[in-house]
Amino acid sequence: MLQRLMLASLLYWGAAVAHASGDVVFGAPFSNAMPLASYDGDQLAGGILKDLGNAIAQRLGRSARFVLLPRNRLVSALVDGQVDANCYALPAWLDHPELRWSRPLIPNRDLVIGRADSMRIAAVADLADEPIGTVLGYRYPELERGLGNRFRRDDAPDMQSNLRKLAAGRARYAVVDELTLRYELRTTLGHFKPGSSLTVSTFVASCVFSPKGSVSAEELQRSTDALLLDGTIDAILARYR
């Protein structure tokens, strides 16, 4: 985690180099997990976000560059034009009036899941005062509204860490998105059998564009629209199902 924070301090230098070369610069929060993103040191190595970013840039005749950064620095990086885009976000997560948005692209839902021996969850209110595995820098509007000051966050660097804590019996509940949960159960946590679960939100994530990027939001929107209409985005998502 410390190494990634040190690498994130190079954001402005790396983005400036990429912009000078004409690349489309995508902000890649290192809290994302597969199938959205995998990492190799300071590089985004694979996943939906890399494939989608490459496709958007290629449509514009450019190359994509991915800059790793903490989730809580994404808004400022977009607003300041240090990165051109991020392709997994919602306005409720990144609340800023200047940001521009694509059409909805990636369907998903957030779940609170428990271990098999945990109390059954029938409603958000059942989680009052229960420590819940969350991701540092992420917002959970439905849990914030439903639990208020009885929302007990237990932050981890990413969702994979929370799932591993559940599987090891070191946590009772965690928030995880369905894409990540299915991927992890299929690839690395096949032995883990989740207990009760509660859907806290269903959503379709979008790309978000900088109002000051070196590539205009209008160009990025047109590219993303074309990929949605010609089936490219569906094909990318299908690789990870």
Looking at domain 107-202, its CATH architecture is 3-Layer(aba) Sandwich (3.40)
pLDDT of residue 22: 84
DSSP state of 231: T
Burial class of 60 by CB neighbour count within 10 A (0 to 12, 13 to 18, 19+): middle
Do the first three CATH levels of 2-106+205-238 and 107-202 match, i.e. the same topology?
Answer: yes
pLDDT of residue 10: 46
What are 142-184's pLDDT values in tens digits?
999 999 999 999 999 999 999 999 999 999 999 999 999 999 9
pLDDT of residue 28: 93
The residues that bridge with 66 in the sheet, in sequence order, are 26
pLDDT of residue 19: 54
Cα angle 65, 38, 168; round to 5: 155
* Residues of the chain scoring pLDDT < 50: 1-13, 15, 17-18
CA distance 138 to 160: 14
Superfamily of domain 2-106+205-238: Periplasmic binding protein-like II (3.40.190.10)
Token readout for 22 is 């004409």
Q: What residue segments make up the domains of the chain, in order of their start?
A: 2-106+205-238, 107-202
pLDDT of residue 236: 98
Size of the chain, expressed as the number of residues it contains = 241
pLDDT of residue 21: 60
